[in-house]
Structure 1
Amino acid sequence: MIDMMTIHKDMPLLEQYIYLNTAAASAIPQPVVNVMTSYLQKQASIGPYLPSFRRETYEQVERIREKTALFIGASKEEIAFMPNGSMAINYISGGLDWHQDDEVIVLDTEMLSNYVPWLALQQQGVRLKVLKTNAEYMVDLHELEQLITPNTRLIAFAHMSNAAGTIQPASEICQLAKKYNVLTLVNANQTVGLLPILVTELGCDFLVASGRKWLRGPEGSGLLYVRKSLIPALTPIMIGWGSTNWDYQNNDYSFIETAKRFEPGCPVIPSILGLGAAIDYANAIGIQPIYQRVQQLTKYLIEQLETIPGIVLYGPQNREHRLSVTPFNIEGHSPDDVTNYLADRGIIIEAGTFMANTIMERNHISKMARFSPHYFNTFEEIDRAVSGIKEFLEISKTKAQDSR
């Protein structure tokens, strides 16, 4: 059972807002903020380079690396800290040794950061192939298999779409790829911290995740997982101390043998400490209870949204295929007007393309609104949000009648 009273005490923003936009970035729990500000205050008091303080800080970073690895079922040697998921993807797209006529497969539900880096490889002769997902926005494994050729090098896909809410059969995709010796990258920006994930069970080669979303960590935090055997096959796209050995006498260099080779220069200490505290917070609640609560909230949200006149829901029709992310439009109304009306009343959702242009094109729209509740949300908050939309529609209807 999730202790909602304690969780709400840790969320000062609830004094002003109903926050239903975790797919963009979540509200940080106060204990996570405390860990970060405590470090910054201590640094301000004694300076960043007191030897004992610096040693203690870097030891803590390595403990968080181990904690992060355990959270997704990896070893600490396979984890690099990243400021965001986009940079992590670029370390893979820019680090592999590509050959003319190599192929990368992505889904037609991907957003910019897991589409354009692969598109850019066309300048090196790499071919980008886009798999059209089915009516439920899900991968059809048979169609995926038909798309694989001897030139297919990698399949990159979002575990959950940020603009459809579909959970993909990640382990089955990775298993199929392995059958053909194809690499897999799982973009888990929308699932780490939301549902149980173990890279050993997924069978993926690479996994990326942002800390600021479902983990409820700070901006500027994230992770890159690289299967240990593949670390030497990735050439870092940036070089700096901490990631590189410099053989000055022989005018040569080499990269660190672990995933730390992808961390050039000073680590972003406050964000890493915040990420560690966010993982502790999630572990204290339990990922399985988090997942089950969000399932319940999602089901309830859809049921309530379907009572709104003129609403169009995007994404899978089978509710079992969707988690949290619920995009919609209301016929005859701008999604910006809907979200702005709710925001003026302290209810935060979002409108936009979410950089998922292929989904916009698929639905013949230019923009959509989106709900994305997390475990800290309540059924009552969903009721208030839906009531707010209905109130907006009534006011709009009255204004339209008055203007005639």
Structure 2
Amino acid sequence: MERQTRAFDLAQARAETPGCAEVLHFNNAGAALMPQPVLEAVSAHLQREARHGGYEAAEEMREALTHVYEAVATLLGCQPSEVALLENATRAWDMAFYAIPFAPGDRILTGMAEYASNYLAFLQMSRRRGVRVEVIPDDEYGQISLSALRNALDEHVRLIALTHVPTNNGLVNPAAEVGRLAREAGVLYLLDATQSVGQMPLDVGAIGCDMLAATGRKYLRAPRGTGFLYVRQEVLEELEPPLIDLHSASWTAPDQYSLSPNARRFECWEASMANRLGLGAAIDYLLQWDQRQLWRRIRDLAYLLRTRLSPLPGVIVHDRGAVQGGIVTFTVEGQEAETIRQALRQQGINVSVVPREAALLDMQARGLQTLVRASVHYYNSEEEVERFSRTLEHLLTDGSLS
């Protein structure tokens, strides 16, 4: 049965986000402001643990904790048994990547905008197993070239690994088109959805990925210390987790063990139950609205921000892509990105700075050292975009940054 959603209500979203009264938050690609139901879910369980005991509190909330898997499954269009809950996106991605039985001569195909942590894992696997890491060039829009990817596929390709939305760019890579190529070639496909989950609707069946890693703290608006991994059931048995414990595996004899038959094999027994409940509450909160409408709103806000920033003196917006999301990156001639960030922070405005090493291949190719990253969300307002632009213009013209 299809889940019922309702029209987005900006006033409600802002009223239910306590941080909106405190700060202009354009750092949603770092960590978004949590809504009140998420705060209540986390704090209530911490109180429950303090009063009843940690194990006992988890037992009391067993049904709600099981629901978190169901919420992730609804979000991604998969089965709860294909979901593992991890402490962050990096650990989720690592558990999938290091579970692949690479052999010398295997090829890993990735894109120019791949995230640093992922690429470091590629390099480590290259040293350990002798795999080859090959970067597919960008197309004319700055996204991964589908024609170049198609031409690179052969029987030695073991994995396509792609960052859906880069950390340093507004572009959205064509994940579903990559998925079609991966399926045609019979190649494993690992998608890093850290910046896309919560921004836009995601359906793992439509995307065609075998594995997907994501975080809670960014566009899902969940607590820090939450993440999850999707693993398609059909590929589960060929993946051996790099780490196991008494939760992910059973000790069946003194010299034998068996792995969990589902995605729980990628989990660790110990975790923050309060944070997990916060993740579930965040997903439930998101799913009350039409995600397509939210995605359109995020894109419209980001477009408005880019149009306001581009005419400002010395400001260069650096976003690429045929499709652009809520991340807006820019530089200011003659100014350090960190100086801009600190100046805006003093005005009650949050942004972040992306260093060169966060996406080294892309940043190096474009001659960029650091970027200011302003990332909008659906609860941000058009008035905040205007205030942000006016504030930056004032900082640039009144000598405050000199």
1:212 aligns with 2:217: yes
Alpha-carbon contact 1:89-1:113 (below 8 Å) kept: no
Q: Which amino acid aligns with 2:301?
A: L
Cα offset, 1:361, TM superposition:
0.8
Q: Which amino acid aligns with 1:71?
A: L
1:235 aligns with 2:240: yes
- Aligned twin of 1:43: 49
Q: Which of residues 389, 394, 397 is equivalent to 2:392?
A: 389
- Aligned twin of 1:256: 260
Aligned residues: 394
Q: Which amino acid aligns with 2:217?
A: R
- Aligned twin of 2:3: none
Cα offset, 1:221, TM superposition:
0.7
Q: Which of residues 326, 329, 342 is equivalent to 1:327?
A: 329
- Aligned twin of 1:274: 278
SS at match of 1:49: helix
Cα offset, 1:55, TM superposition:
2.8
- Aligned twin of 1:26: 32
Q: In structure 1, what is the Cα distance between the partners aligned to 2:355 and 2:270?
A: 34
Cα offset, 1:56, TM superposition:
3.1
SS at match of 1:321: coil
Q: In structure 2, what is the Cα distance between the partners aligned to 1:21 and 1:379?
A: 16
Q: In structure 2, what is the Cα distance between the partners aligned to 1:54 and 1:183?
A: 36
Q: Percent identity?
A: 29
Q: Which amino acid aligns with 1:152?
A: V
Alpha-carbon contact 2:199-2:326 (below 8 Å) kept: no
Residues 48-104 of structure 1: per-residue CA shift (max 9 Å, x gap): 233xx4433233222211221121001011000011111111112211111110000
**TM-score, normalisation: structure 2:** 0.94
- Aligned twin of 1:132: 137
Q: In structure 2, what is the Cα distance between the partners aligned to 1:49 and 1:118?
A: 38
**TM-score, normalisation: structure 1:** 0.94
Question: Runs ≥4 in structure 1, deviation > 2 angstroms?
Answer: 53-60
Instruction: Say what the alpha-carbon RMSD is for the aligned residues.
Output: 1.5
Cα offset, 1:208, TM superposition:
0.7
Alignment of 1:96-115 (within 5 A): 96-115=100-119
Structure 1: gaps of 5 or more residues: none
Q: In structure 1, what is the Cα distance between the partners aligned to 2:222 and 2:281?
A: 8
Q: In structure 2, what is the Cα distance between the partners aligned to 1:254 and 1:347?
A: 51
Q: Which amino acid aligns with 1:59?
A: E
Alpha-carbon contact 1:174-1:203 (below 8 Å) kept: yes
Cα offset, 1:45, TM superposition:
0.9
Q: Which of residues 375, 378, 382 is equivalent to 1:379?
A: 382
Residues 328-384 of structure 1: per-residue CA shift (max 9 Å, x gap): 101111111111111100011112317112222122121110111000101111111
Q: Which amino acid aligns with 1:104?
A: I
- Aligned twin of 2:4: none
Cα offset, 1:160, TM superposition:
1.1
Cα offset, 1:12, TM superposition:
1.9
